Each structure stands twice: as structure tokens, then as C-alpha cells.
């Protein structure tokens, strides 16, 4: 959200996050329906039980109808993994996932293979990009 110019504590940011989440949700379910058509439902799929769940009952009617007719290939969708260490290890600190950045820069202490410790300066990817583009990071 911050890289799209939105502060997390605004109505506009919350509305955008909601639209993004709904889009991801709907497309994940539709993709699983398509896979179920092609490869079959996951073995324990029970349409009535599944469609009576609280989260699934809020899906748009056409998606619920498709699930009822074809089933789902995947038993689990839309998991949000722990984010802090994953983003440092694999994504150049590009995202805290759904969490807002708690600090633009900070020091992180990491245990090394020989059991010693080393301190690393960590800088948020959006902050670095904003600074690189000439933004005034003092205003953040």
C-alpha cells in the first residue's frame, strides 16, 4: 500500500486493501475450480459442508455455484505465511506482506553458523526506492 502512495491508517488504503484481497480471493477460488474441472476435486471435498462455511458463504454467488458444480482442486487457499524473516531471506526486504513496515531502517542481530552473532542494518525496500527516486525520506 505504501508503494502505491497510501498510508495504512486511511479509509482509502483500507478500501484498496479490501479490493486487492477480494480480487486475490476470487481468482484463487476460480483457479481451483478450473483445476477441479481438469483434474478432479480434492479427495475429501464435500460441497454442502464446504459451502456452509462462514468464509465461503461470503463468496460471490457465481463462484459458489461453480464450486457446487465442479468442486475445488485445492483443500487450502490464501494462506498468509509469517513474513519478517522470509522477506529478508528471499525478497531483499521487499515486503512485510500484509503488515505495515514498523520502521524504515533498523538493526537486526543474526546468529551465524559458528554460533557467533552479527548485526545487519536492514532498510525497507519501499523506503530505499523512494529515496532513490529523490523522495524526502525525512518527511516519512
Residue 83 scores a pLDDT above 60: no
d(CA 115, CA 101): 29
Residue 24 scores a pLDDT above 60: yes
Same domain membership, residue 95 and residue 64: no
Same domain membership, residue 109 and residue 63: no
Q: At what angle do helices 61-70 and 11-39 cross, to 10 degrees?
A: 20
- Dihedral in degrees, nearest 10, Cα atoms 17, 23, 25, 29: 180
Residues 111-138, mean pLDDT to the nearest whole number: 86
What range does the domain containing 53 cover? 2-70
Residues 107-122, mean pLDDT to the nearest whole number: 90
Please identify, among 47, 70, 93, the residue that sits at the C-terminal boundary of a domain: 70
Query: Which of residues 122 and 38 earns the better pLDDT score?
Result: 38
d(CA 44, CA 36): 13
Q: For the chain, what percent of residues have pLDDT higher than 90? A: 53
Please identify, among 45, 70, 95, the residue that sits at the C-terminal boundary of a domain: 70
Which grid coordinates belong to 35? Answer: 483445476
Same domain membership, residue 122 and residue 94: yes
Say if 30 falls within a structural domain: yes
d(CA 42, CA 52): 17
Phi, psi of 123 (to 5 degrees): -125, 130
Same domain membership, residue 52 and residue 6: yes
What is the average pLDDT score of the chain?
86
- Whether residue 91 contacts residue 77, with contact meaning beta carbons closer than 8 Å, is answered with no
Same domain membership, residue 6 and residue 64: yes
Say if 79 falls within a structural domain: no
Residues 98-108, mean pLDDT to the nearest whole number: 79
| Residue closest to 9 by CA, chosen among 101, 95, 85, 80 | 101
Which grid coordinates belong to 29? Answer: 477460488
pLDDT at 33: 98
Same domain membership, residue 103 and residue 55: no
Number of domains making up the chain: 2
Same domain membership, residue 13 and residue 58: yes
Residues 136-140, mean pLDDT to the nearest whole number: 76
Amino acid at each position: 500500500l505504501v508503494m502505491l502512495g497510501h498510508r495504512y491508517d486511511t479509509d482509502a488504503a483500507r478500501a484498496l486493501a479490501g479490493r486487492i484481497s477480494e480480487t486475490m480471493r476470487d481468482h484463487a477460488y476460480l483457479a481451483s475450480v478450473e483445476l477441479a474441472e481438469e483434474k478432479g476435486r480434492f479427495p475429501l471435498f464435500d460441497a454442502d459442508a464446504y459451502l456452509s462455511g462462514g468464509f465461503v458463504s461470503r463468496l460471490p454467488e457465481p463462484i459458489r455455484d461453480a464450486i457446487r458444480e465442479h468442486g475445488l482442486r485445492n483443500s487450502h487457499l490464501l494462506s498468509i505465511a509469517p513474513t519478517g524473516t522470509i522477506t529478508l531471506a528471499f525478497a531483499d526486504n521487499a515486503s512485510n506482506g500484509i503488515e505495515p513496515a514498523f520502521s524504515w531502517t533498523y538493526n537486526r542481530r543474526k546468529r551465524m553458523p559458528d554460533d557467533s552473532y552479527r548485526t545487519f542494518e536492514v532498510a525497507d525496500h519501499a523506503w530505499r526506492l523512494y529515496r532513490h527516486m529523490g523522495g524526502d525520506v525525512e518527511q516519512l
